[in-house]
Structure 1
Amino acid sequence: MSALAPVMLTGETMRHLIEPAGAARRPAADMADLAEVIRTLLAVEARRDTRVRLGGNLFDVVITSSGPEAYAAVALMDEIQGGCGPVIDAPEIGWLYWLVPPGSADRWTPHSHAVCLSAPHTITLPSLNRNRPPLPYWFRRSTSDRLVPAGPLRETLEHLRPEPTPHAAIEARLGITL
Structure 2
Amino acid sequence: MTAAAMPTGAQTMRHLVDSAGAAREPAADMADLAEMIRTLLAVEARRDTTVRLGRNLFDVVITSSGVQARSAVALMDQVQGGCGPVIEDPENGWFYWLVPPGSCDRWEHHTHAVCLGAPHTITLPSLNRRVPPGPYWHRPSASDRLVPMGPLRDALARFRPEPTPHAALSARLGIAL
Q: Normalised by the size of structure 2, how large is the TM-score?
A: 0.91
Q: What corresponds to 2:174 in structure 1?
A: 175
Q: What corresponds to 1:83 in structure 2?
A: 82
Q: What corresponds to 2:16 in structure 1?
A: 17
Q: What corresponds to 1:148 in structure 2?
A: 147
Q: What corresponds to 2:26 in structure 1?
A: 27
SS at match of 1:158: helix
**1:129 partnered with 2:122:** no
TM-superposed CA distance for 1:120, in Å, is 0.6
Q: Give me the whole-angstrom Cα distance separating, in 2, the residues matched to 1:20 and 1:77.
A: 56
Runs of 4+ more than 2 Å apart? 7-11, 13-26
Q: What corresponds to 2:97 in structure 1?
A: 98
SS at match of 2:9: coil
Q: What corresponds to 1:8 in structure 2?
A: 8
Q: What corresponds to 1:47 in structure 2?
A: 46
Tell me the amino acid that sits aligned with residue 84 of structure 2.
Answer: G
Q: Give me the whole-angstrom Cα distance separating, in 2, the residues matched to 1:150 and 1:74.
A: 13
Tell me the amino acid that sits aligned with residue 70 of structure 2.
Answer: Y
Q: What corresponds to 1:61 in structure 2?
A: 60
SS at match of 1:124: strand
- 1:81-101 CA distances to partner (integer Å, 9 max, x unpaired)? 000000000001000000000
State the number of aligned residues.
171
TM-superposed CA distance for 1:8, in Å, is 3.3
Q: What corresponds to 2:73 in structure 1?
A: 74
- Gaps (5+ residues) in structure 1? 1-6
TM-superposed CA distance for 1:20, in Å, is 5.5
Percent pairwise identity = 75
Tell me the amino acid that sits aligned with residue 133 of structure 2.
Answer: P
